[in-house]
């Protein structure tokens, strides 16, 4: 049937949200250790795992390294960055030569 001004078009949106579950096998010792990490009585194992494996903030690591170790790490990072910059320039120069 062709569209005319008398026809109305309706759109229905159906959203279904499901929580997927997986069954895992763990030892009794692992179960006891996981259960002991619950902070609330009704905290689920999924909540415990998500809380424990969440992303840490960079500030959480402040003071972990000594000044000497931190300086060595920073120097190595700068060295790696410099070598990557040089390699990138060489690749760009090589590619530029291929497309002339």
Task: Quote the CA–CA distance of 17 and 14 in Å, as a whole number.
Answer: 10
pLDDT per residue over 29-83, tens digit each?
A: 999 999 999 998 889 999 999 989 988 777 888 888 999 999 999 999 999 999 9
pLDDT per residue over 11-32, tens digit each?
A: 667 666 667 788 889 999 999 9
Task: Quote the CA–CA distance of 69 and 100 in Å, as a whole number.
Answer: 47
**Residue 85 or residue 21, greater confidence:** 85
4, 19 in Cβ contact below 8 A? no
């Amino acid at each position: 049937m062709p569209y005319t001004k008398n026809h109305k078009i309706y759109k229905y949106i159906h959203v279904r949200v499901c929580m997927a579950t997986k069954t895992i096998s763990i030892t009794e010792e692992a179960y006891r250790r996981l259960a002991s990490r619950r902070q609330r009585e009704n905290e689920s194992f999924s909540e415990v795992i998500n809380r424990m494996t969440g992303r840490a903030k960079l500030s959480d690591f402040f003071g972990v390294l000594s000044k000497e170790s931190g300086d060595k790490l920073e120097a190595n990072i700068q060295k790696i960055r410099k070598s990557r910059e040089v390699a990138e320039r060489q690749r760009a120069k090589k590619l530029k030569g291929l497309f002339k």
